[in-house]
Amino acid sequence: MRTVGIIGGGASGLAAAITAASEKTVRVFVLEHQEKAGRKLLSTGNGRCNLTNENMSPSFFRSREPEAVKTVLKCFGYEETIRFFHGLGLMTKSKNGYVYPRSAQASAVLHTLRQEAERLGVQIHTGVHVAEIRQKRGKFLIYAGGKAYDADRVLLSAGGKASPVLGSDGSGYTLAKQLGHTLVPVMPALVQLKVHSCPLAKAAGMRIDAGVRILVNGKSAAGDRGELLLTSYGISGIPVFQVSRFASGALREGKRVQAELDLLSDLSEADFFQYLICQKRNRGELPASAYLSGVFPDKLVPCLLSLSGISARRKVKEISEDKLRYLACQCKHLMLQIEADNGFDNAQVCAGGVSLKEIDCRTMQSRLVKGVYLTGELLDADGICGGYNLQWAWATGCLAGRAAAQAEEIRKVRK
């Protein structure tokens, strides 16, 4: 019986291990450098683990090879993911298309994966850091911790660089390059953005429904809408995460990046201006500090007044129409200068990675080294928030695990 060695015990690695071992034609082992496999899963979906999404489309992924992403999702999409987990005994539930474990606990997903791997006889070695992979006489030697593990097939599922505290240290990229693979530049994605001299810093902690648009050298690159979180250093929240990869990439290319905030995305600028005129007429004796108290959180109002050149102590009736027009414009088109993303330490995933040109995306086998398969975040594909990055992990892991196990069986039959 031949052996499949998997480097990395995260989402894609565990999915690959279970799928390969289910074929019952190979022995499977996993080398994980953390003390426990799958630790990063516990933080996904705010601890609820958003497994996948009913609305599954390649358009929700970013890659330099979009056709390759389509191939993966065609081979293993939403339906296959649901069958995979239901087959392991995990019940799921959907909320607006977002799929979670029925218990709404990420720990249930991790327990299910670990339990199934154990049942199938997968050997999981933890606290093991892989330093090198070599080929020798048709086999692979995986060197880790002064020991060599031999395997007939190797799956590289070591993850990216996002959230290193949870185990993603970027070592998988080094191993991939040792094997001859090239990398699309790796950068943080689904990450907060830092603002130069942030004018909203005093409103840190406030959440507001808003539109966010990224401008690169003055041209629109991406946009989204949702609950924006203001921080002392800049902006965060789901809509920021969704567009952050475009800011990260442009910043690394030395381009000028701005974020345009629409703090009243359900109201036109003209309608809001008329509201301000009406308030001036009806509440003219009030100080400007009370002018917007019925529209925005109290901590945000002074920031907006300051940006518009309006003194908080000034009476509303004394504010000119030009100032009110400018205030309306600021609320609808607030421009922030983005100076940096918040780094790999705070990113949920990475953009970039091993080029999908070098992968057969029907099996996830390397086109450069036969018998090597690559999965998950290590590859140049990242999804938006909503279960898409875990879908990529399950899909690539299961495709690679099945292909690696069946390839061994085909070889054995041919003999």
On whether the CB atoms of residues 130 and 156 are closer than 8 A, the answer is no
Beta partners for residue 153, in sequence order: 4
Please, what sign has the CA dihedral across residues 150, 151, 156, 158?
A: negative
Instruction: Give the CB-side neighbour count of residue 24, counting CA atoms within 13 A.
Output: 1
pLDDT in tens, 331-359: 999 999 999 999 999 999 999 999 999 99
pTM: 0.93
Fold (topology level) of 2-188+351-414: FAD/NAD(P)-binding domain (3.50.50)
| pLDDT for the residue numbered 413 | 37
Domains in the chain: boundaries:
2-188+351-414, 192-342
pLDDT in tens, 145-196: 889 999 999 999 999 999 888 777 899 999 999 999 999 999 999 999 999 9
- Stretch 132-146: mean pLDDT: 91
For 383-398, give one letter per residue: b (16+ CB within 10 A) or e.
bbbbbbbbbbbbbbbb
Q: Is the pLDDT of residue 209 over 60?
A: yes
Q: Residue for token digits 């970013």?
A: 62
On whether the CB atoms of residues 167 and 377 are closer than 8 A, the answer is no
| pLDDT for the residue numbered 410 | 40
Q: Is the pLDDT of residue 363 over 80?
A: yes
Q: Which amino acid is at 396?
A: T
Q: Residue for token digits 């330099």?
A: 64
Q: Which amino acid is at 389?
A: N
Please, what sign has the CA dihedral across residues 296, 298, 300, 302?
A: positive
Q: Is the pLDDT of residue 414 over 50?
A: no
